Amino acid sequence: MVKHLLLRSCVVGLGLLLATSSWGATEEYGYPIKDKYVATVVGTPSEYWADLPKKIPFHTRRVSIFPDRQIPDAFFADSALLYSVALQNKAAPLIFLIAGTGSSHNGGTNKQQAKAFYQAGFHVVSLSSPTFSNFVISASSTGVPGHAEHDAEDLYRAMEKIHTILLDKDDIEITGFNLTGYSLGGFNSAYVAKLDEQRKSFNFDRVLLINPPVSLYNSISLLDRMAENIPGGIDNFDLFFNDLVRGFGEVYKRSSGDLGDNFLYDAYRALDLKNEELAALIGVAFRLSSASMVFASDLMTDFGYVKPKEMKVNRHTDLQPLARVVYRLGFTDYYHEYFYPYYRDNENAGSRDAFVKSESLTHIQDYLRNSPKITVMHNENDIILEPGEIDFFREVFGDRAKIYPYGGHCGNMSYRDNVAHMINTFTR
Amino acid sequence: MIIKFSHAVLLITVFLMTACSTGPAMQMENYSEPVFSADRILPEDAAERSASSVYDPWQGMNRRIYNFNYHFDRYVFLPATRGYQNVTPDIAEAGVSNFFDNLRDVNTFLNSVLQLAPKKSAQSLGRVAVNTTIGLLGLIDAATMFGIDRPVEDFGQTLGRWGVGAGPFLMVPVLGPSSLRDGIGLIPDTMVNSYLKEEIFGDDGAMAASVVDALSTRSNTQFRYYETGSAFEYETVRWLWTTKRELDIAK
């Protein structure tokens, strides 16, 4: 408590000092972590969190999207799409949440968002990213995720099915529809909103894109390059990851009890990680997601990416040898050697360059520019953007873009100002 | 109650161990080349350099038990847990959880003594003393409010402390990942726990208490089989669990 008050008064004092010295240029932003890598890894220390309920009725459910689909035995548990809901017991607006790359409907970020929106009076429906392996298996029409338009259609189909269930089985009253997503989920939200203009199942009132990429290819290239910071090179992926877990373990050992709210923050301070190591850590985290996504996809289509086509794999097969290979590969390997060839051969996707260009928000910028319902929340120092890419949002969205000076990639999403802005977007 | 639940579990495990052979080995030779193969992109010594390898000679059986645990969880354990949560007010749930934790603290105390670990012995003994009295027979975790840390020590850790290696990885029905050493360690731990429950609730009550304990423990455990999103969940759980146990023993 003392530490809390001290910190708070320091921040307030600093804020006053800066405000008076720069004559109220802008109100001071109080998110405490200025470094982009640290913010991305550590997130928001708990004393800066918005005030949210500890527990809400947030329940996991499953819905069958393609009932007749044959799925690989290794993914036998993924025949139905997992999602979660938190429903009000009165008439209320509904918000769909879409998770970021490789993340699930009930991952930490979605859960936090669900609490904020539930508290603000919304029915909440939380969806996994189309890159989450359960989504790839159960709800992706092609089984090859990352395609802006297909992913949007897959999400839309799932949202429609869930909507029907909410009306028929839960018998809830919905007064309007809203949509938000972070990271790749923000990108997906833009394409889903555009699709909704034709299909009109929801007629969204408001859509908020949180820390989306501009160009998918640029962002995955940046993330792949981060993994190249692994000490000793990518051959040491396994060792680096192991060292990391042991490092965190050491911190856990010294800590009194469990992995608390500030565990990552404590670990970061105790381990004294250098910027390259933090970058490597981020790269590794994304690689773990991409590995599962790619492997699920490979089994779904039998493309022969890492699993030889004739090889039979079932739920009892030792997957370690294939895991070793797939963990060595990045998003760009997937893009060039599987994703693009797949769509070139199956859907006559154009040239590689044209395809790369079409997988972007730039591609739908006219729509975004002229849609007052769509807003953006982003950070000046987001690590998934190329230098200058942040200006795309200022230029296209104008005053519908709220750009914070720092926060890295989604690091400030739990910070109280950000949560307040997120809620205000949908309630004002 | 001579045959306890976890004894039965271990007996089944031993039976399966002898009945099943190891997992199917992977034969890469006769397949067409995938876009990326181990030969093409991994260094030759990749398997030896791999830090995430865990000794798992009973993999075939272990994977089948892992699969069984998913089904048991989904169709029996989790529905029962939800039922338990629905009929129990939150405050009572916390009390029940504290009560059984207090019994486990007795076991931590015994193991801390066996490990000749004075600090953990003092902490666990202090916790039991405080929680059993001020904490109203363990229903309230007063010790934590007074700032007494809660070490958790079991017989597997005690064996590890005295140099017994983990042995082969072992997936225990219902209970989840373990090792041969830790699986054997479950027997004395369970005997202590059952003894305490029988002393408190009598022979028949102890059985019911064990069921409530299991439901309470499951309701406090976030893990859901095949929902982590990892395509390599068994491998990842195996490695993380093994690492965690090594750290627990060093702690």
DSSP per-residue letters across B78-131: HHHHHHHHHHS-HHHHHHHHHHHHHHHHHHHHHHHHHTT-HHHHHHHHHHHHHH
Tokens of A254: 């010294």
Q: Do B231 and A292 touch (CB under 8 A)?
A: yes
CA distance A226 to A40: 13
Q: Among B146, B232, B235, B251, which would you mutate to test the A interface (most chain A Cβ atoms within 10 Å of its Cβ)?
A: B232
Domain limits, CATH 3.40.50.1820, in chain A: 53-214+361-427
Say if CB A239 and CB B51 are below 8 A apart.
yes
Write down the residue that tokens 């079932």 correspond to.
A314
CA distance B248 to B157: 7
DSSP per-residue letters across A81-141: EEEEEE--SSSEEEEEEE--TT--TTSHHHHHHHHHHHHTT-EEEEE--TTSHHHHHHH-S
Tokens of A338: 């599987």
Write down the residue that tokens 């916390």 correspond to.
B94
What is residue A285's predicted lDDT score, i.e. its pLDDT?
A: 83
Residues of chain B contacting A328 with CB distance shorter than 8 Å: 36, 41-42
CA distance B142 to B22: 48
Which of helix, strand or coil describes residue B57? coil
Q: Do A321 and B52 touch (CB under 8 A)?
A: no
Pick the closest to residue A126 from A152, A158, A88 (CA basis): A158
Tokens of A337: 């050697």
Q: How many other C-beta atoms are found inside a 10 Å radius of the C-beta of residue A47?
A: 15
Q: Among B97, B230, B236, B248, which would you mutate to test the A interface (most chain A Cβ atoms within 10 Å of its Cβ)?
A: B230
What is residue A235's predicted lDDT score, i.e. its pLDDT?
A: 74
**ipTM score assigned to the predicted complex:** 0.82
Cross-strand bridge partners of residue A124? A86, A95
CA distance A128 to A82: 8
A12 Cβ partners below 8 Å, 6+ apart? none
Which of helix, strand or coil describes residue A175? strand
Which of helix, strand or coil describes residue B176? strand
> Within the 217-256 window of chain A, which residues sit less than 8 Å (CB to CB) from chain B?
235, 238-239, 241-243, 245-246, 249-250, 252-253, 256
Q: Classify residue B29 as exposed, middle or buried by CB count within 10 Å of its CB (0-12, 13-18, 19+).
A: exposed
DSSP per-residue letters across B208-233: HHHHHHHHHHHHT----TT-S--TTH
CA distance A279 to A225: 9
Q: Among B20, B35, B39, B244, which would you mutate to test the A interface (most chain A Cβ atoms within 10 Å of its Cβ)?
A: B35
Query: Which of A256, A292, A315 lies closest to B230 in CB terms?
Result: A292
CA distance A154 to A135: 9
> Alpha helix locations (H) across A308-378?
320-327, 331-334, 340-347, 352-358, 365-369
Write down the residue that tokens 């938000």 correspond to.
A180
Amino acid at B211: V
CA distance A49 to A188: 26
Say if CB A239 and CB B49 are below 8 A apart.
yes
Query: Which CATH code, of 3.90.1150.10, 3.30.450.20, 3.40.50.1820, 3.40.50.720, is assigned to A53-214+361-427?
Result: 3.40.50.1820
Q: pLDDT tens per residue, chain A (428 residues)? A: 333 333 333 333 333 333 333 333 456 899 999 999 999 988 998 889 999 998 899 999 999 999 999 999 999 999 999 999 999 999 999 999 999 999 999 998 999 999 999 999 999 999 999 999 999 999 999 999 999 999 999 999 999 999 999 999 999 999 999 999 999 999 999 999 999 999 999 999 999 999 999 999 999 999 988 888 887 777 777 777 777 777 777 777 666 555 556 666 777 777 777 888 888 888 888 888 889 999 999 999 999 999 999 899 999 999 988 988 998 898 999 999 999 999 999 998 889 999 999 999 999 999 999 999 999 999 999 999 999 999 999 999 999 999 999 999 999 999 999 999 999 999 98
Which position has the higher pLDDT, B47 or B3? B47
Q: Do A245 and B149 touch (CB under 8 A)?
A: no
Please state the domain extents for chain B.
Answer: 59-88+154-222+232-251, 89-153
